[in-house]
Chain A
Amino acid sequence: MSEKKVIDARGSFCPGPLMELIGWIKLAEVGDELELLSTDKGSAADVPEWVNKVGHEFLGSREEAGVWHITVKKTK
């Protein structure tokens, strides 16, 4: 996977966006970047927490018009 993978989890509630991200991370290769789109405010806080806990790299999060864009790099 060379391009940044965009995972559209808009409309799903916690922990749906996290589960979608994890499913795609398992398929990704080390070094790949993934961008999660979520409208769930709780997930915007929870996903970075998970990323830090399991040891991937949290690249950033921004909110645009009620949609959080959370970018993660697979590191292992």
Chain B
Amino acid sequence: MEPSKISVVVVSGALERLQMAAMVASVGAVSGSDVRVFLSMNALPYFVKGNNTPAPAEGPFGTLMAGKNVPAFRMLFENAVELGAAKVYPCSMAMDVMAIDRAALEPYLSEPLGLTKFLHDARDTQVWSF
């Protein structure tokens, strides 16, 4: 049976959304799905090397979660790549706006991708947006 395909678009910089996106990506990938993640807008700065800034909570659950031993969203995205062969793509438009190149981003990210290509590849997949 062909593996299911999951596309995850992440544009929020809020902790809860980054966390849920990372959970979908990592659990999907380690369960055999073909997972592709597109990081853009407020999400992308968290994946710049050396940026360990915590994401702000959007609501009370985020505040509650921040005090618990919940796996860090950055680690879960890396798990998705390392353990489940997911692809995590930085958005080329967001990189242009931020004036950064590929070398500025975490090494487990794939090469930058434009929206046109991502949308083409996301056809006939589950699409999740955060």
Q: Report A62 CB to chain B, min CB distance, Å.
A: 23
Assign chain B's interface to a size class. 10 to 19
A14 to B65, CA, bound (A): 12
Taking CB atoms and an 8 Å cut-off, the chain A residues in 28-68 that contact chain B are: 46, 50, 53-54
| With contact pairs A23-B83, A26-B83 given, residues A18 and B68 touching in the complex (Cβ less than 8 Å) | no
B52 within 8 A of A: no
Is the contact region of chain A dominated by helix, strand, or loop, or is it mixed? Answer: helix
Q: Report B128 CB to chain A, min CB distance, Å.
A: 15
B30 within 8 A of A: yes
- Cβ of A50: which chain B residues have Cβ within 8 Å of it? 27, 30-31
Query: In this complex, what residue of B is CB-closest to A23?
Result: B83
Binding site for A on B (CB under 8 A): 23, 26-27, 30-32, 68-71, 76, 79, 83
